[in-house]
């Protein structure tokens, strides 16, 4: 159960990031009040980064820090959504707000979707804390980091295409090729080639960040640089034997057996508590 929950949390973070990017695009065409309210959600990206970092460390105590960051993101999303709804209701009869009402409503719907995902995320992290621990291998953590970096690569290239910055494509397209290759080759024991790919991506991020003029693209480059650097550190510090894949599969089976025993024992304990009756003496 723990391994499934951890993977689900990381996939949901990917979905939340995509929704956040959609909010970032839609808010540009919303009313001024919704634009200001939704801008607060940019803080959540740093909190999501903390959750990702904590989920990749092989210590159960880090999940307590993850749930604190996730609860903060959920509360911040709820406050932001409430401010956006109140601001839209107050100015819905004004001429300026009527023109931007469709995009403002779309932005609020996306914010509500992000809040729902945040609430589910908080519950799943709580379930991970209660369940037995399962630690993923170094290659799995590298694949997760580059799966996170890939949407930011698409975001940067879409921004460059929209602004007609054709000279930047020689730097920004690196992640479109490197990220899928690293995800595919991380488990193939191509250590030297994977290291070269990650180093290339980091070099391109540094060059693109220095030459970038778009504020959003600069932030995306910082995220890409952080994820790629973390993956490189994990890859270089990993000391695994050639039979890691088979051992990982065996460890995963053992972890699943332990988790199944945990669930069965917990269910039996609950049934015993429900069936226990005290005798009534007269």
Taking only the tens place, the pLDDT of each residue in 236-273 is 876 544 444 444 445 445 555 555 555 555 555 555 55
Asked whether residue 249 is domain-assigned, the answer is no
**Which is higher by pLDDT, 11 or 228?**
228
85 domain-assigned: yes
Q: What is the pTM of this model?
A: 0.60
Biggest alpha carbon distance in the chain? 91
- DSSP single-letter state for residue 166: G
Distances (CA, A) of 205 to 48, 160, 281: 21, 14, 77
Q: Give a yes or no: residue 224 inside a domain.
A: yes
Confirm whether 276 is domain-assigned.
no
Do 131 and 7 fall into the same domain? yes
The reported pLDDT for the residue numbered 118 is 92
Output the pLDDT for position 257: 56
Q: What is the pLDDT of residue 78?
A: 93
Establish if 220 belongs to a structural domain: yes
89, 114, 135: which is the final residue of a domain?
A: 135
* Residue appearing with tokens 């057996």: 257
Higher pLDDT, 49 or 132: 49
Residues 151 and 117 in one domain: no
Residues 51 and 114 in one domain: yes
Q: How much is the pLDDT for 266?
A: 52
CA-CA distance, 143 to 181, in Å (whole number)?
10
What residue ranges in 136-275 does DSSP mark as E strands?
A: none
Clarify whether residues 90 and 155 are in a common domain.
Answer: no
pLDDT, tens digit (0-9, with 9 covering 90-100), for 152-204: 888 888 888 888 888 888 888 888 888 888 888 888 777 888 889 999 989 98
Q: Are residues 92 and 44 in the same domain?
A: yes
| Percent helix, percent strand, percent coil in the chain, to nearest 5 | 85, 0, 15
- Domain span at residue 216 reads 137-240
Confidence of residue 122 (pLDDT cuts 50, 70, 90): very high
248: in domain: no
Residue finishing a domain among 107, 135, 163: 135
Residue 260 inside a domain? The answer is no
The domain total for the chain is 2
Q: Average pLDDT of 106-132? A: 89
Alpha-carbon distance 171 to 261, whole Å? Answer: 51
Same domain assignment for residues 13 and 122: yes
Contact 55, 66 (CB under 8 A): yes
**Is residue 17 domain-shared with residue 144, that is, in the same domain?**
no
Looking at the structure, tell me whether residues 115 and 3 fall in a common domain.
Answer: yes
Query: What integer is the mean pLDDT of 44-73?
Result: 83
Indicate the average pLDDT of the chain.
78
200 in the same domain as 116 = no
Task: Tell me whether residue 163 is in a domain.
Answer: yes
The stretch 201-210 carries a mean pLDDT of: 88
**If you average pLDDT over residues 104-124, what whole number do you get?**
91
**Cβ(14)–Cβ(121) below 8 Å:** no
Q: Are residues 186 and 153 in the same domain?
A: yes
Residues 49 and 119 in one domain: yes
Task: Name the nearest CA neighbour of 102 among 88, 119, 117, 82.
Answer: 88
Residues 119 and 148 in one domain: no
Report how far residue 98's alpha carbon sits from residue 87's, in angstroms, rounded to the nearest whole number.
Answer: 13
Per-residue model confidence (pLDDT) at position 271: 54
Domain boundary among 78, 111, 135: 135
- 101: nearest Cα among 203, 199, 51, 32: 32
**Mean pLDDT of all residues in 117-146:** 80
């Amino acid at each position: 159960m723990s391994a499934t929950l951890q993977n689900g949390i990381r996939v949901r973070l990917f979905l939340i990031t995509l929704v956040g990017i959609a909010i970032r695009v839609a808010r540009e065409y919303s009313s001024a009040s919704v634009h200001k309210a939704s801008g607060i959600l940019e803080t959540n990206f740093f909190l999501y980064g903390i959750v990702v970092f904590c989920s990749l460390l092989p210590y159960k105590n880090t999940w307590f820090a993850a749930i604190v960051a996730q609860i903060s993101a959920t509360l911040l999303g709820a406050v932001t959504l409430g401010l956006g709804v109140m601001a839209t209701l107050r100015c819905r009869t004004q001429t300026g707000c009527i023109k931007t009402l469709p995009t403002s409503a779309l932005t609020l719907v996306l914010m509500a979707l992000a809040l729902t995902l945040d609430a589910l995320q908080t519950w799943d992290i709580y379930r991970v804390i209660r369940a037995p621990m399962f630690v993923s291998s170094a290659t799995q953590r590298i694949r997760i980091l580059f799966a996170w970096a890939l949407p930011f690569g698409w975001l940067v290239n879409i921004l460059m295409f929209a602004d007609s910055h054709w000279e930047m494509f020689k730097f920004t397209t690196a992640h479109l090729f490197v990220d899928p290759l690293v995800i595919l080759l991380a488990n193939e024991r191509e250590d030297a080639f994977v290291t070269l790919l990650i180093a290339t991506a980091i070099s391109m991020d540094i060059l693109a960040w220095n030459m970038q003029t778009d504020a959003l693209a600069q932030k995306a480059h910082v995220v890409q640089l952080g994820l790629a650097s973390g993956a490189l550190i994990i890859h270089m510090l990993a000391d695994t034997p050639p039979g890691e894949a088979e051992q990982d599969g065996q460890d995963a089976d053992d972890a699943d057996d332990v988790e199944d025993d945990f669930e069965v024992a917990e269910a039996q304990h609950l049934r015993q508590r429900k069936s226990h009756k005290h005798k009534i003496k007269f």
